[in-house]
Amino acid sequence: MEETVTILTATGTPRVQNAADPGVYSGEQKFYLAVDCIIFGFEDSELKLLIINRILEPEKGKWSLMGGFVQPKENLEQAAIRVLFDLTGLKNIYLNQLITQSEIDRDSCARVFSTPYYALIKVQDLDPLRVELSHAKWCPVSQLPKLIFDHNNMVEIALQHLRIEAQNKPIGVELLPEKFTIPELQSLYEAIYSQKFDNRNFRKNILKMDLLEKLDEKDRQNSRKGAWLYRYKNKSLK
């Protein structure tokens, strides 16, 4: 056990101090800090999440978001990038920080603060074998199982943010393959908002934004007529 002394803070709250720590903030306590990643993908007209089946304690065998503890030499975003790289082998993933979860009992093992990041990736960029080896799977957002701790809540918050972001930014650039059709893009937005849109108005609005470049190539997977392929003029959201 460390040697401690009790001090009185400016606000009058008594506080236990580590007598051995000589720093300015030595009266203060430290905490575990983690990041958790809400990894969105789009496949088969469905918005999906990459979740993992835990092979280690705690909560072994249960489903969870991919996460990890923050290391001394990294900031939160770097921690999220590392966690994502370890799982997917991908770099340059589009990321956004969400509000930090701090409930005292949120983790059953210890006091852990967790900062969630949501990531947008192209399902096609990810090796299915790697997914399997990581005990991960792509799960439709509408069919999510119970996840550990407060992870389902994090997903809910991420979805709200994704919906807001989809109004302001061309998020398709991070979720669709390089070439895609307008109907495919529409089905992405319909998946994000769980809502059908008028195809004529959708097309009109998206083309008016002048973000897409029409290619000289058609995709005939879904119709005899075939749909023209497009690509984003900018290659990423950043």
167 binds, among DNA, a second copy, none (CB under 5 to 8 A by kind): none
Binding to DNA in span 152-181, by CB under 7 A:
181
CA pair distance 170, 137, nearest whole angstrom: 26
Residue 101: closest CA among 161, 154, 31: 154
Single residue of 23, 200, 216, 238 touching DNA by CB under 7 A: 200
Q: Supply 103's token pair.
A: 């409930």
Nearer Cβ to DNA, position 17 or 187? 187
Report the nearest approach of a second copy to the CB of residue 148 (Å): 13
Q: Does 11 bind a second copy (CB under 8 A)?
A: yes
Return the SS3 of 168.
helix
DSSP string for 114-165: EEEEEEE--GGGS-HHHHHHTTEEEEEGGG--PPSTTHHHHHHHHHHHHHHH
How many other CB atoms are found less than 10 A from the CB of residue 35? 28
Single residue of 3, 56, 133, 201 touching a second copy by CB under 8 A: 56
Binding mask 61-100 for DNA (x = CB under 7 A): ----------------------------------------
Stretch that binds a second copy, among 68-76, 122-130, 138-146, 196-204 (CB under 8 A): 68-76
CA pair distance 27, 184, nearest whole angstrom: 57
Binding mask 95-134 for a second copy (x = CB under 8 A): --xxxx-xxx----xxxxx-x-------------------
How many other CB atoms are found less than 10 A from the CB of residue 136? 19
